[in-house]
Chains A and B, each alone.
Chain A
Amino acid sequence: MTDALSMLAGGFGHVFSGGAAFHALWATLIGIVIGALPGLTATMGVALLTTLTFGLGSDVAMLVLVCVYVGAIYGGSRSAILLNIPGTPASAASTLDGFPLARQGLAGRAMGISTAGSWLGTLFGALMLALFAPSFGEFALQFGSYEMAWVALFGIVIAGSLSGGDPLKGYIAGFLGLFVATIGQEANHAYARFAYGNADLAGGLGLLPVLVGVFGVAEVLSAMRGPAVRAVSSKIDSVIPRIRDVTTYWRTILRSGALGTFIGAMPGLGEDIAAWTSYAAAKRASAEREKFGKGSIEGLMAAETGESACVPGAIIPVLTLAVPGSAPAAVLMAAMMIHGLNPGPMLAITAPEFIYQIVAMLIVADVVKLFYGLVLVRPLLWILLIPRERLMPVVFVLCTVGAFAITSRLFDIWVMLGAGLVGFVLRELRFPMAPLVLGIVLGDLLDKNLLRGLVLSGGDITPFFTRPISMVLCALTLAAALWSVPGVGALLRRRQAPMPK
């Protein structure tokens, strides 16, 4: 315990040694703006900033990315409350009660609830991260190639089953992502797969140009295709969170914080599922169930706390297993790899202090978020009024800079364009994007561990099923797959209250 506290203090010291306050201020602001603007998501924000901060040191880059992630998830609630349009998919549940509150002339109070819930959610999640990540990391050291292959497969299957929409399309998206990750030279014989003599393809498709394409270019196209978003002018009352709103619903806050963190820690589920689950759980447990959907303070508090607690939760498996808990966390993990930080089970041995530095970064970002939540009301309204015709081309320029930044290859800009067009078409055909991202990110992990496992066992596949941890992971993967089979899932879900519509 003393060790943990001194390491946490060290983490804060480390974060504040490099002009953290300045970087946290601008990065959280950018995150909030990206989150608030419909069409720009947290994943896109983290992907873009990963490439744009490539020239900075790894400490500053990590702080910036954590701040953007935390800020973007919170920022999405502003447009959810004021426009009834979730700024990021994570804020969809916040529209249900946030917008009705705004229509009742309580937009300020709704934003205050969102600020308080989001602040407490991230704080709760960060404390869980500090508490559980180191010990879970040590447990994960027992994972060998067989187990890591299952962990990667489990991530794809659970993201496909539960990331929203159609599980079958989720699985296909996941395997497409895994396939994209196989393009280029493989590790054993340096054979260039699917390269056809092209030197650029032999180098593989860069992870970040693909992600900037799928989340940046595709979103620009989606935003320009749809009808223009019309902003409402809403009278805004005081945005200062009321202590009574927090003390009355402390059970909801704790429950949503725990659920959000847990869902975040499940590979590939992400903030939107965390928000919906927290909302549904709060509705089930509430004495004021009839108010949900009509401007319930408890409902908004649950959704906001859940989605914000998910952010640190999603970083837990990144640091302990090198498996991301959400799409933005996948990009954050890629950024860690690019900066040579090697997330995964070995982190508990090689750099245990890094876990506490991330906790310190999350808490700093959370405090800055609280500050902006209290002061940044009018300016954010003006930003929401920027016409997309003027905003989207600037976003596209930033995507181009981002795609080029890491390896300085024009080929990466083409990759971004191709990934953007394919991502747009897949999205139009209702393929969820979270499993695709997870597939691309986990491709290397699965590829290496599957082959290494086969080599170690001399071609025998039984260790994949008979080793104790493998057996559990295999059972979980099968259960996740069975959950999505029509009939089986319905049987299990019948006992649960339906999700809000």
Chain B
Amino acid sequence: MSEAEAASPFAGERAPASPRADLVTAAVLFALGVAIVQQSLAMPRFVEQSGTGLTAPGIVPGFYGVMIAALSLLLGLRAIRRGGWSAGGAARRGAGEGRRLLLAAALGVLYAGVLVGRVPFWLASALFVFAFTAAFEWNRGPERRARRILEAALIGLGTGLAVTLVFEKLFLLRLP
């Protein structure tokens, strides 16, 4: 692997986001901050119980709400100064990346949100691992596809059974 291909240690969390993305994020966070403050003000104060009202449940989240709103305002102002109004949208990633992300998220939600709790855990896990592996390996071309699908089924079944046995019998955990 050449150095040009290698991931930079400053990528990921250390690379800056686009000004437009920051501006939109700041708007959403500002709305969240204001909503937290409004909800905190609407909470009961319990003045009769405490005598002073200093134990009111809304004080602490209200403070956080104010801070989130104020800091997101700063983020928004900085994004505008960086050209957030005029700059184009966030750098577009390839369509393939978006598709892979959506597929992974959809399968994850389907498994953890729908299957788990409705079908036996070992079966749900086996189906999920099989579907995930088979779906992501589908595009590797038709040659040896049948073999890959068989391997995916075996990995799924193995995972479902191994996880159930190890965690129920060895780690004494309850499974969904």
Residues of chain A touching chain B, judged by Cβ–Cβ distance below 8 Å, are 52-56, 83-86, 89, 92-93, 95-96, 99, 164-166, 168-169, 171-172, 175-176, 178-179, 182, 186, 188-189, 191, 193-194, 217, 220-221, 224-226, 230, 232, 387, 389-390, 392-394, 396-398, 400-401, 404-405, 408, 410, 413-414, 416-417, 420-421, 427-433, 446-447, 450-451, 454-455, 458-459, 501
Q: A168 touching B55 by the CB < 8 A rule?
A: no
Q: A390 touching B61 by the CB < 8 A rule?
A: no
Q: A55 touching B9 by the CB < 8 A rule?
A: no
Chain A residues with CB under 8 Å of B61's CB are 179, 182, 193-194
What is the 8 Å Cβ interface bit string for chain B, positions 126-143, against chain A (1 contact, 0 not)? 001100110011000000
Chain B residues with CB under 8 Å of A221's CB are 101, 104-105, 108
If over half of A's interface residues share one DSSP class (helix, strand or loop), that class is named, otherwise mixed; here it is: helix
**Sample (29) of A-B pairs whose CB atoms are under 8 Å apart:** A52-B173, A56-B172, A84-B3, A85-B6, A166-B16, A168-B78, A169-B75, A172-B71, A175-B67, A179-B65, A182-B60, A188-B50, A189-B44, A191-B44, A193-B58, A221-B105, A221-B108, A224-B100, A225-B104, A390-B152, A393-B107, A393-B128, A397-B129, A397-B159, A397-B163, A401-B175, A416-B112, A420-B108, A431-B13
Chain B residues with CB under 8 Å of A416's CB are 112
Chain A residues with CB under 8 Å of B68's CB are 172, 175-176, 179
Residues of chain B touching chain A, judged by Cβ–Cβ distance below 8 Å, are 1, 3, 5-7, 9-10, 12-17, 21-22, 25, 29, 36, 39, 43-44, 46, 49-50, 52, 54-55, 57-61, 63-65, 67-68, 71-72, 74-75, 78, 97, 100-101, 103-105, 107-109, 111-113, 116-117, 125, 128-129, 132-133, 136-137, 152, 155, 159-160, 163, 167, 171-176
Q: B17 touching A84 by the CB < 8 A rule?
A: no
Closest to A189 in B: B46
Q: B71 touching A405 by the CB < 8 A rule?
A: no
Q: A55 touching B101 by the CB < 8 A rule?
A: no
Closest to B125 in A: A397
Q: B71 touching A220 by the CB < 8 A rule?
A: no
Given known pairs A188-B46, A188-B50, A429-B25, the reply for A392 and B132 (CB within 8 Å) is yes
Chain A residues with CB under 8 Å of B43's CB are 191, 193
The CA of A84 and the CA of B64, in the complex, are separated in Å by 40
- Shortest C-beta distance, B101 to chain A (Å), equals 4
Q: A404 touching B171 by the CB < 8 A rule?
A: no
In the A-B complex, the 9 residue pairs with the smallest Cβ-Cβ separation, listed nearest first, are A55-B172, A92-B9, A393-B132, A224-B104, A389-B136, A84-B6, A188-B55, A225-B101, A393-B129
Partner of B74, one of A168, A189, A389, A390: A168
